[in-house]
């Protein structure tokens, strides 16, 4: 039996592919960062919990998802503004959380 990859169930548009490429690249970049500069030891930020680099990346992903959903709900498309807010949010998370 041959493997068949039927990808018709998902809308593989340019933005969809770009999203998945970004997620894979950011996780790979975190791995390279840890390889060359180890020491992602937990630190206590404004949330009052200990977070590592990976935790802060995950918090950035979650927050960005909610930012995009709120943007779509209140303002609709295009999402360029949501992307800008998400980048600022991620920078703030990595700085202060």
Nearest to 71 by CA among 60, 59, 83: 83
Its pTM stands at 0.80
**Is 19 within a domain?**
no
Sequence-ordered strand ranges (E) for the chain: 43-44, 50-51
**Is 7 within a domain?**
no
* Cα dist from 62 to 40, 68, 81, whole Å: 20, 10, 17
**Is 3 within a domain?**
no
- Dihedral of CA atoms 59, 60, 64, 70 in degrees, nearest 10, equals 40
**Is 60 within a domain?**
yes
Domain that holds residue 95: 49-97
**Is 64 within a domain?**
yes
**pLDDT tens digits along 9-58:** 777 777 778 888 999 999 999 999 989 988 778 889 888 889 988 899 99
**pLDDT tens digits along 14-26:** 777 888 899 999 9
Q: How many domains in the chain? A: 1
Q: Which of the four pLDDT bands, split at 50, 70 and 90, describes residue 5?
A: low
């Amino acid at each position: 039996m041959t493997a068949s990859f039927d990808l018709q169930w998902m809308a593989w548009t340019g933005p969809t592919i770009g999203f998945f490429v970004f997620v894979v690249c950011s996780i790979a970049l975190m791995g390279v960062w840890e390889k060359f500069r180890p020491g992602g030891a937990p630190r206590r930020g404004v949330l009052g919990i200990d977070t590592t680099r990976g935790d802060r990346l995950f918090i950035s992903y979650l927050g960005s998802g909610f930012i995009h959903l709120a943007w779509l709900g209140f303002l609709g498309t295009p999402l360029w503004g949501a992307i800008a807010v998400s980048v600022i949010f991620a920078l703030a998370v990595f700085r202060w959380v």
